[in-house]
Chains A and B, each alone.
Chain A
Amino acid sequence: MNRKSEPLAWGLLLPTLIVLSVFVIYPAVQSFLLSFQDVEPFSKRSFFIGMENYQVLLRSPDYWQSLRVTFFFLILTVVPSLVLSLTVAVLLDSNPFFQNIFRTLFLLPVAISSSMAAMLWIFIYNPTAGFLNYALDVFGMTGPNWLADPDWALVAVAVATVWKELGFNIIFFLAGLTAIPTELKEAAELDGASGWQSLRHVTLPLLSPTLFFVSVVSVINSLQSFGQIHILTTGGPMGETTTLVYNLYRDAFVKFRTGLASSEAVVLFLLIMMATIFQFRMAKKRVHYG
């Protein structure tokens, strides 16, 4: 950058910097500072209490419970979402005839808001008038009260989440698959590879950058899930769907324990960062770029 273009560059960057500073950097720094303070509800008074908020978290059985729930929610959403979306994308890629219509169908849930999607699932899961239990009833089975049963609530929320996220992942996988030259698949076919061997040895390694990106985004999305939990179960029954984010929300906006909630936000940030670093480390060996 030469000296003449420097002011222009700063001028172009400034709007973004202002927005980032006001809505991201300042709240993040404030949140970090608040995590070391006890903030009085409905007032601006706060006291520095060092690491006490973090100690409270470590001693809180509710917090450990939400950590457990978050972990299971992560597994229940990310793994099926990746497997399902990859399977659908591979099937659509091999049948271009159906690609347009199904791509649109799978993308529809992404286009609607989380609250609308959650409302839809409330109807589906309704124990007496819901479609799911009606369908089970047709086959002579009795479905549980999905959203109120502690054994099923997390699974029910996870299914709704996977349904909502599926289209997003499919689009990325389809784009990745389309970018793989047909000649490579044909070369594998001539080399004697079966459909599965071609997928395993050629398609998946070449799709690994997309797979990596989608898995990182899915993990972050899952760890930050809030809307569907709030509408479907409000964290219940018996805290079985209270994830770290939902716990944080309750501490901040129901119990007004702003300092404690800030420390939860910091821990959540560290967890997401660790998960992402872990994924990047794993990716070094398994992701092939060009």
Chain B
Amino acid sequence: MASVQMDQVKKQFGEVEVLKEVSLTIQSGEFVVLVGPSGCGKSTLLRMVAGLELPTSGNILIDSKVVTTVAPKSRGVAMVFQNYALYPHMTVRDNLKFGLKLAKVEKAEIERRITEAADVLGLAAHLDKKPGQLSGGQKQRVAMGRAMVRQPKVFLFDEPLSNLDAQLRVKMRTEISHLHRKLKATSIYVTHDQVEAMTLADRIAVMYQGKLEQVGTPLELYQNPKTKFVASFIGTPSMNFLEKSLLAKVQAPSLAFSAGIRPEFTYLGKKSEKESSRLGEGKVVLVEPLGSLAYVHVAIEGQYLVSEVKSDTFPAVGDSVSVGVETSKLFFFNEQGLRI
């Protein structure tokens, strides 16, 4: 286990600035998820920690030692790639063994680690198969096994679940979480899926346009977003934003450009509670029933809001409904998207 520090790390590809002086400290044993939309620089940052990319300026420190120009193999990191990156000509056993053989680990120790990783990851029956004979989930496990057997100081995950189907993704997410609790290794996990980020992370670092927008625990980010981007990115469905005529109905501060409200604090139909503001009549444009609840999309004064409705009976598309929001749960943002 080791701490990882990114100190004013900047990366430029020609004229394009991919990372703008990012600083982030990850404590030993912590599971930090870098999350953000495509192209925000999260994978580049991870690759710099791995040593696969050199920063234009700034430093990477592992266990307080500067490793910015140190070769990947000497950093004590292991990485799980998005496309698994398993050697297709080697069996699962050889894939796991490759790094250990190069590190000249003793044969008995190699076997012990392979057996242990295979048991933990349920790969024992597949050790003599080649990657081409495995399913996506099994390949992903082998990729994790390959990282595990090296007993690295830091685990790096680069969107490891994005190639799996939805069901398998949930299963593997649980397994990764379980594995982290067991190994307690420092882990940096890159994803664009905020559900993955919320469920796995000790802390989440939200990135946008090459900058760190906010770093905090999943609940902190959900309950106390510092920017409009974080507010919109964290949470499913996304936060609603009231602008123009709707903003005027919620007693916004003078500098407010928009007000954010989560779908669970948006009310439809019945008269709003005492601390809520009525926005007016809206028209239901879409209903997404999810069993015990539904997300109802409403068009009101040229804007669209989503409301979480917990009821046995949901409004139908085309219905006119009264829309209200819980005022104490409103977040106000200025024109630059910063929280007021």
Contact = CB atoms under 8 A, between A and B. Distances in A.
Contacts of A186: 50, 52, 72, 79, 81, 85
B85 A183 contact: yes
B87 A184 contact: yes
B78 interface: yes
A181 B72 CA distance: 18
Nearest to A191: B99
Nearest to A192: B73
Size bracket, chain A contacts:
10 to 19
Nearest to B82: A183
A190 interface: yes
B77 A190 contact: yes
A193 interface: yes
Contacts of A192: 73, 99, 102-103
A191 B83 contact: no
Interface stretch (A199-207, A216-224, A245-253): A199-207
A221 to B, nearest CB: 28
Interface string A159-191: 000000000000000000000010110111111
A190 B89 contact: no
Best-surrounded residue of A188, A192, A193, A205 (most CB of chain B within 10 A)? A192
B312 to A, nearest CB: 50
A212 B132 CA distance: 21
A181 B150 CA distance: 22
A193 B87 contact: no
Best-surrounded residue of A184, A202, A205, A290 (most CB of chain B within 10 A)? A184
B132 to A, nearest CB: 6
Nearest to A206: B89
Contact of B87 (A189, A190, A197, A202): A202
A274 to B, nearest CB: 28
Contacts of A290: 88, 132
Interface string B80-108: 01110111110000000011001100000
B98 A191 contact: yes
B73 A190 contact: yes
A288 B88 contact: yes
Contact of B79 (A190, A201, A208, A288): A190
Given A191-B102, A192-B103, A201-B98, A181 B89 contact: no
A196 to B, nearest CB: 11
Contact of B81 (A187, A197, A202, A288): A187
A287 to B, nearest CB: 9
Interface in B287-329: none
Nearest to B88: A290
Given A190-B73, A193-B102, A183 B83 contact: yes
Contacts of A183: 81-83, 85
Nearest to A183: B85
A146 B85 CA distance: 51
Contacts of B82: 183
B132 A197 contact: no
Contacts of A187: 79, 81, 85-87, 146
A193 B79 CA distance: 14
A184 B85 contact: yes
Nearest to B53: A186
Interface of A: 181, 183-184, 186-193, 197, 201-202, 205-206, 208, 288, 290
Given A181-B83, A192-B99, 14 more contacts: A181-B85, A187-B86, A187-B146, A188-B98, A189-B71, A189-B73, A191-B146, A191-B150, A193-B73, A201-B87, A201-B98, A205-B87, A206-B89, A288-B88
